Amino acid sequence: MRCLILRFSNPMSSSSSDHKNLRSNFTVVSNPNCSCRHLSQLRSHLGTNPFGKLQECLRIRPLGRAAIRRDPPGEVVQCSSCGLSPPRLYACVSCATVTCRTHTATHASESSHYVMVDVDRAELFCSACEEQVYDRDFDAAVVAAQTNAVAMGIGSAIPPENFHKRRRVDYKFWTPDLKERVLLAQNSSPLPPSQPGDSLSQDRSSVSLIDGESDLPWGLRGLNNLGNTCFMNSVLQALLHTPPLRNFFLSDKHNRFYCQRENKTIITRKTEHSNSKNPLLCLACDLDAMFSAVFSGDRIPYSPAKFLY
């Protein structure tokens, strides 16, 4: 096990009082799940316990965001090359040198140290790939630190779902009661009967409709190809006939009219001096519109143009 103590110092002064300390005792080990070959090479040379001590050197801020803990607290970390303190600083995992985004490439070329840690966000960054890199063990250590912070009462106002990069929306199955069934019956429109010459009459389905007649079921509506968008249409058709997703939107769980009205108010405030007052783009609103159109009973092919941007 190799422990690293990242010590940040002010290159403009040699006085010990100007030293900025950042404790980060963690180890790195080889992992085939690395998303970057530079990270994989680094891990292959260090330790046996991946990021075993990372939790101890993280501090959890409001809203659950993690950052490298400073020692002493409140010290201003500076770039070792220019002495500045921009919003984004990176600490080298190999030698603890701190650089700004401008000087990460210089440090990498001089020392062949490519993997760094974002001081403010506790995220891995590869200066050679010029992008953030993912490591399962590193991410697990950050989540564990956030969970422990809540257990200890630190940042207790943080909702647990914020600890995950992807949030799942809990689906609650809805079954209409007697009163709701009456309202549905009064406000629903049956499918129009097909004409004798209609091509659809040649291929009847045995699936029963709400009114009990044998006809094509609801939701069978083609999607127009908008120019090599067959792949997208295949995905959309799969989503349209996924029961939990279908029930969610057909039960008015996301009302696009209400959502767009709220967003339009926000946009109007931001565009008081321009002619553009388009509502904010909302994927859920576009899905709601598509579900409404496909399950409306109309057989004319639908064009999902909004999913192209």
CA max distance for the chain: 94
Q: Which amino acid is at 302?
A: Y
Say what the pLDDT of residue 52 is. Answer: 66
CA distance 210 to 187: 13
Q: Crossing angle for the helix pair 256-270 and 283-294, nearest 10 degrees?
A: 140
Say what the pLDDT of residue 20 is. Answer: 41
> CB under 8 Å to 103, separation ≥6 — which residues?
79, 80, 81, 82
Say what the pLDDT of residue 109 is. Answer: 86
Tokens of 256: 């696009």
Cβ 93 vs Cβ 42: under 8 Å:
yes
From first to last of its 309 residues, the chain has per-residue pLDDT tens of 233 344 333 333 333 333 344 444 444 444 545 568 888 887 787 765 656 667 677 777 766 677 777 766 667 788 888 888 887 888 888 887 888 988 888 898 888 888 888 888 888 888 888 888 888 788 888 888 777 776 766 554 444 444 444 444 555 667 888 988 888 888 876 655 555 544 444 444 433 444 444 456 777 888 988 888 888 999 999 999 998 888 888 888 888 888 877 766 555 544 554 454 455 578 888 899 999 889 888 888 888 888 876
Say what the pLDDT of residue 201 is. Answer: 44
Domains and CATH numbers, the chain: 7-163 (3.30.40.10), 178-308 (no CATH)
Q: Which amino acid is at 193?
A: P
Say what the pLDDT of residue 45 is. Answer: 76
List the Cα angle 297/283/303 in 5-degree steps.
40
Q: Where are the alpha helices (DSSP H) in the chain?
A: 37-45, 104-111, 136-151, 178-187, 230-240, 243-250, 256-270, 283-294
Say what the pLDDT of residue 290 is. Answer: 92
Considering only CA atoms, which of 162, 177, 169 is closest in space to residue 245? Answer: 169
CA distance 208 to 6: 69
Say what the pLDDT of residue 236 is. Answer: 93
Say what the pLDDT of residue 238 is. Answer: 93
